[in-house]
Amino acid sequence: MNRKILFIGGGIVIGLVTVFAIAFDFDPQVISSPLIDHPAPLFRLVDLDGEVVDLEQLKGAPVVINFWASWCIPCIAEHPLLRAAADHYRGRVHFLGVIYQDQEPQIRRFMAERGSWGPALKDPDGKVAIAYGVYGAPETFFVDSEGVIREKVVGALQPESLRETLEALL
């Protein structure tokens, strides 16, 4: 009788340990985007200077679309990296910043203090963020020269992965 209970209890413990081990490998914050390898949702947005940016007109070169906000700590951290990348890839890659749940005065102040790496596009009703499935900032989409999303990064970009992704798109 004791051996039977020990055997059943041991089986339950081994089963639970296995389930927990598998669950530790899963990050609920990382959600695979269904947009990967599909055409990027098109948009026409206005930047802070009143210039219209039409994503469809940017075909022919890769595009980096970064959803960001001035209040977002990871956005602040990745800002110098985006500035450096935009300078390095100038004329070969378009860099677009879509303002995510932020106000124009704060964005203007942020850019005056830290500089700019591309147009800051206003998405006042959030339709573009919804079309891209954005649920927080920063989120970055890498679109190839044909207008197809090839990569999505949630959170702050890292220098090596940014370089590798951009080189692969070129």
Domain that holds residue 98: 32-169
Domain membership of residue 19 (yes or no) is no
Name the pLDDT band for 13 (thresholds 50, 70, 90). Answer: low
**Phi/psi of residue 153, each to 5°?**
-125, 125
74-97 pLDDT per residue, tens? 999 999 999 999 999 999 999 999
pLDDT at 32 exceeding the cut of 90: no
Domain membership of residue 14 (yes or no) is no
Domain membership of residue 118 (yes or no) is yes
Domain membership of residue 150 (yes or no) is yes
Instruction: Report the CATH number that the domain containing residue 119 is assigned in CATH.
Output: 3.40.30.10
What is the enclosing helix (H) or strand (E) of 149? strand 149-154
Token digits for 7?
């055997």
**145 contact partners, CB below 8 Å, separation of at least 6:** 59, 60, 61, 62, 169
Name the pLDDT band for 123 (thresholds 50, 70, 90). Answer: very high
Q: How far is CA 149 from CA 13, 25, 38, 90, 133, in A?
A: 44, 26, 6, 20, 13
Domain membership of residue 158 (yes or no) is yes
When divided into structural domains, the chain yields a total of 1
pLDDT at 31 exceeding the cut of 80: no
128-167 pLDDT per residue, tens? 999 999 999 999 999 999 999 999 999 999 999 999 999 9
Name the pLDDT band for 10 (thresholds 50, 70, 90). Answer: low
**This prediction's pTM:** 0.83
Q: Three-class SS of residue 9?
A: helix
Domain membership of residue 15 (yes or no) is no
Domain membership of residue 4 (yes or no) is no
Domain membership of residue 27 (yes or no) is no
